[in-house]
Amino acid sequence: MYVDHSRDAIESAIALTKDSIEEFKAEGLDTAYLDDQLGKLKSQL
């Protein structure tokens, strides 16, 4: 049960990070590095 709550928290953090990356893209910033790091984090779940 603890693991499920931790996973939910991590997935929520990933969703927030993804939203932030989308905002950075909308401002014209290069987010390739952030996209790559987020992908690596997702693959470890």
Domain of 35 in residue numbering reads as: 2-43
Q: What is the pLDDT of residues 1-45, one digit of tens each?
A: 566 788 888 889 999 999 999 999 999 999 999 999 999 988 887
Residue 41 near residue 14 (C-beta atoms within 8 A)? yes
Q: What is the pLDDT of residue 34?
A: 93
Q: What is the pLDDT of residue 10?
A: 87
Q: What is the pTM of this model?
A: 0.72
What does the DSSP assignment read for 17-38?
Answer: HHHHHHHHHHTT---HHHHHHH
The CA radius of gyration of the chain, in Å to the nearest whole number, is 12
How many domains, the chain? Answer: 1
